[in-house]
């Protein structure tokens, strides 16, 4: 079956890579050394990913890549692996996740699911690596950030754990598990107010020039 070429955009955050080899691109590589940055990104993403463009800022690397992938087949395998993982069949789930990543090395469902599985097996370092890749390939969602926070708690990266959990809370303030996990760390965040929140506050009148 022929693999299709897909262009994708990744967002690699500096704070996810402080202290590792990739994180050096934000601190140790002098501005203008574009080739060194591309080589470091290439080492991180692997030989199946071709970097098309990379833009580095103080807090993130915005990377466009080309991947030769069988997306639908990889997603089907990841779904089957999720089912096995939830049923407790970890060995079978692991094999399917790895097979899915052979077909699509940046498949979000496979990287996320494998990260959860490795965390369940207490293989925390590879678990965190997979969860970071899932975040870079698919963006933030509360369950992913919760998993990252929990892994950081187990590896005594408490500052990182709080950052991930507070971000998860921002996305889903009503998520009970996120709230409870933050409480276990002694944190009680409050939802951030927005301009619309203030405008709809019945206890305050709008300024005169805003009234109808």
SS (H, E, C) 146-160: HHHHHHHHHCCCHHH
Yes or no: say if 25 and 16 are a contact pair by the CB < 8 Å rule: no
**Strand, helix or coil for residue 11:** strand
Q: Give me the pLDDT at residue 188, please.
A: 81
**What's the DSSP call for residue 15?**
G
Tokens of 12: 């690699």
The domain ranges of the chain are 4-69, 70-138, 140-192
pLDDT surpassing 50 at residue 198: no
Mean pLDDT, rounded, of the chain: 88
Q: Give me the pLDDT at residue 84, please.
A: 98
Give mean pLDDT, residues 113-131: 97
Q: Give me the pLDDT at residue 31, please.
A: 66
Express the helix, strand and coil content of the chain in percent, nearest 5 each. 55, 15, 30
pLDDT surpassing 50 at residue 152: yes
pTM (two decimals): 0.85
pLDDT surpassing 50 at residue 211: no
CATH number corresponding to 70-138: 1.25.40.10
Higher pLDDT, 170 or 203: 170
pLDDT surpassing 60 at residue 136: yes
Q: What is the pLDDT of residues 49-106, one digit of tens each?
A: 999 999 998 899 999 999 999 999 999 999 999 999 999 999 999 999 999 999 999 9
Strand partners, 55: 62
> How far apart are the C-alpha atoms of 143 and 117, rounded to whole Å?
14
Give mean pLDDT, residues 137-149: 96
Q: Give me the pLDDT at residue 139, please.
A: 94
**10 Å Cβ neighbour count for 171?**
15
Among residues 78, 70, 76, which one has the least CA distance to residue 95?
A: 78
Least confident of 68-72, 112-116, 117-121, 187-191: 187-191
Yes or no: say if 61 and 25 are a contact pair by the CB < 8 Å rule: yes
């Amino acid at each position: 079956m022929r693999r299709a070429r897909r262009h994708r955009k990744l967002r690699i955050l500096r704070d996810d890579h402080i202290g590792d080899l990739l994180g050096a691109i934000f601190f140790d590589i002098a501005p203008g050394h574009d080739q060194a940055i591309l080589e470091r990104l290439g080492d991180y993403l692997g030989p199946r990913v071709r970097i098309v463009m990379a833009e580095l800022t103080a807090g993130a690397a915005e990377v466009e890549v080309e991947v030769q992938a069988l997306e639908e087949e990889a997603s089907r395998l990841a779904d089957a692996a999720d089912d096995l993982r939830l049923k407790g069949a970890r060995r079978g789930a692991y094999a399917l996740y790895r097979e899915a990543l052979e077909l699509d090395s940046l498949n979000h469902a496979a990287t996320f699911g494998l990260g959860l599985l490795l965390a369940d097996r207490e293989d925390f370092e590879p678990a965190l690596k997979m969860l970071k890749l899932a975040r870079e390939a698919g963006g933030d969602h509360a369950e992913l950030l919760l998993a990252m926070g929990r892994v950081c708690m187990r590896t005594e990266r408490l500052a990182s754990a709080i950052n991930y959990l507070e971000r998860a809370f921002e996305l889903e303030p009503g998520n009970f598990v996120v709230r409870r996990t933050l409480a276990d760390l002694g944190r009680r965040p409050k939802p951030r107010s927005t301009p619309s929140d203030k405008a709809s506050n019945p206890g305050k009148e709008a300024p005169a020039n805003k009234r109808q």
